[in-house]
């Protein structure tokens, strides 16, 4: 599992995940992803286009990051989930708790008024 981040503009961070977000993948990115997503207030777009599998432990990783950011006054959203990953997110109701966008551009536009 790989995680990369880019500060698109002050306070807007684009995080790209790649690989399987299962128990091994979550362990592999846990510290770095947590540091990127919860240590300071920001608006964060998590790009899931490279995530090929999502298990419950991966959902926990995403939810923890979203809650951590919310506690700081920021916001975390998800974008570009592959169909199988999107299906898991919708079936688990995560899309009701963390906004899910079809593109990074749509997610970025959602932060334009924030």
Q: What is the pTM of this model?
A: 0.94
Q: How far apart are CA 84 and CA 9, in angstroms?
A: 31
In this prediction, residue 113 carries a pLDDT of 63
In this prediction, residue 114 carries a pLDDT of 56
Percent of the chain with pLDDT over 70: 98
Pick out the chain residues at pLDDT < 70. Answer: 113-114
In this prediction, residue 112 carries a pLDDT of 82
In this prediction, residue 6 carries a pLDDT of 96
Domains and CATH numbers, the chain: 2-105 (3.30.750.24)
């Amino acid at each position: 599992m790989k995680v990369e981040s880019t500060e698109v503009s002050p306070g807007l961070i684009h995080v790209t995940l790649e690989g399987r977000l299962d128990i091994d993948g979550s362990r592999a990115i846990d510290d770095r992803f947590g540091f990127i997503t919860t240590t300071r207030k920001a608006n964060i777009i998590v790009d899931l286009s490279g995530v090929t599998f999502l298990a419950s432990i991966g959902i926990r990783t995403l939810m923890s990051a979203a809650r951590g950011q919310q506690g700081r006054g920021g916001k975390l959203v998800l974008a570009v989930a592959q169909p199988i990953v999107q299906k898991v997110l919708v079936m688990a109701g995560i899309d009701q708790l963390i906004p899910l966008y079809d593109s990074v551009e749509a997610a970025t536009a959602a932060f334009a008024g924030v």
